[in-house]
A = this chain, B = another copy of it.
């Protein structure tokens, strides 16, 4: 049932583009959804994609451009003139247009804006460019349907139909006063069932959730999700209605945030796709590897400091990778749970209780792991005092790792730093060094080498 972008279709289109058979091309692509056009543009080479964008109606290509990955879009836009870009922007909602413009060079931005024919549209876009990308102001669109509280239902219907022309989807109708201050909302259902003698002020719902232009994107996402909203109005400092955010933008936002956290946890610092260039992938990955390398070199140093153990307790050196790995694993587990708790805003109770719980939990896990280590020692015929030392050190090390894993994201969050960074190689690396040091230090104390 779903339209499929097949290899045959791509071959066919490439042939038609080469032949410059515009008529056939338009016929083939007429009924195709813009999201599928985007997929087609990704499959074509840059020249072919540019050809199609220039050929097709801006109404269709504008939306397709929005669906493209940033890299692909940038390359296509570089091949278009300021005027051509402006005609695409004319067809976009203001929030999308602002996103695209902000990707252009400053010089080109000026040129493109001056070429936008609809002056109101251009004004709106310029306004949106002022806000931080991840704030409600940066996420909102100017397109919305609003009515004045003093209007009658009949007058309102006419005006509303006019406004609805510019709005892809009418979620809610917002009610404002003469000064454009947000008063409440109307549902289409209410309007349908109202008598035509009513005034808007008689039928509107005065309670409405809204956010301020400066509200952070994450907070907007949290509110919309908590209250199952499909759109939320945005007001400025004077409580004037200036825009609205729709759920589809929030879905994209949530997904991007989740992907960023996931990549951060895996030690990838930029938002890269599998198909990014080797250079971008290196830039995203190498810094974390270098951090890990320094951690490893630090561990080398620590072990050198306990070199005298080689004489009688060489097993300790065989166990260091195990100790380091367990410290890393436990630290990542602890921090991942805290990072998610912070993201979902459902951490309750005091930090002290949380640390206490983490100690208890890790103690249980540690005892199980310690017993396994002692069993292993019995099987391979290791001196019991050594096995016991390793088990004890393991428990100590993972409790410390759990504390660091719990503590660090909470501290980072309080400092206004994204706590997700704590689940990455950062915590693994520091836990490695700490873990190995404590391991040998404890061993030295007990075994006395």
Contacts and interface: CB of A to CB of B under 8 A. Distances in A.
Interface of A: 1-2, 31, 33, 35, 43, 67, 69, 157, 161, 164, 169-170, 188-189, 192-193, 207, 209-210, 212, 223, 225-228, 230, 247-248, 250-252, 254-255, 258-259, 261-263, 265-268, 272-275, 278, 281-282, 285-286, 288-290, 292-293, 295-297, 299-300, 303-304, 307, 310, 314-315, 317-326, 328-330, 332-333, 335-338, 340-341, 344, 346-349, 354, 357, 360-361, 364-365, 368-369, 372-373, 376, 398, 423, 425, 428-429, 432, 436
Nearest to A281: B361
Q: Which 9 A-B pairs have the closest CB atoms?
A: A296-B322, A266-B336, A258-B258, A274-B341, A303-B318, A300-B318, A321-B324, A317-B317, A228-B248
Given A286-B365, A296-B326, 12 more contacts: A188-B188, A247-B251, A258-B261, A272-B337, A275-B341, A275-B346, A289-B330, A296-B319, A300-B322, A304-B318, A321-B321, A329-B425
Given A161-B192, A303-B318, A368-B286, A262 B265 contact: yes
Contact of A365 (B35, B285, B310, B373): B285
A348 B275 contact: yes
A149 to B, nearest CB: 19
Contacts of A293: 322, 326, 369, 372-373
B267 A333 contact: yes
Contacts of A317: 303, 317-318, 320
B33 A227 contact: yes
Nearest to A332: B266
Nearest to A320: B321
Contacts of A209: 2
A432 B364 contact: no
Nearest to A315: B300
24 contacts: A161-B192, A225-B251, A230-B230, A230-B247, A230-B248, A247-B251, A255-B258, A258-B258, A262-B265, A263-B340, A265-B265, A268-B333, A274-B341, A274-B346, A274-B347, A275-B341, A278-B357, A281-B361, A282-B364, A289-B330, A290-B368, A297-B322, A317-B320, A325-B432
Contacts of A321: 296, 299, 303, 320-321, 324, 432, 436
Given A247-B230, A321-B320, A364-B278, A262 B336 contact: yes
Contacts of A368: 286, 290
A325 B360 CA distance: 27
Contacts of A261: 258, 262
B428 A325 contact: yes
Contacts of A250: 251
A225 B255 contact: yes
A199 B299 CA distance: 78
Among A69, A252, A268: residue with most chain B CB under 10 A = A268
Given A227-B33, A258-B262, A267 B188 contact: no
A346 B189 CA distance: 40
Nearest to A1: B210
Contacts of A357: 278
Nearest to A212: B1
Contacts of A303: 317-318, 321
Given A225-B251, A262-B340, A282 B365 contact: yes
Contacts of A223: 2
Contacts of A227: 33, 35
A304 B248 CA distance: 57
Contacts of A266: 265, 332-333, 335-337, 423
B310 A314 contact: yes
Contacts of A336: 262-263, 265-266, 268
A66 to B, nearest CB: 9
A305 B161 CA distance: 80
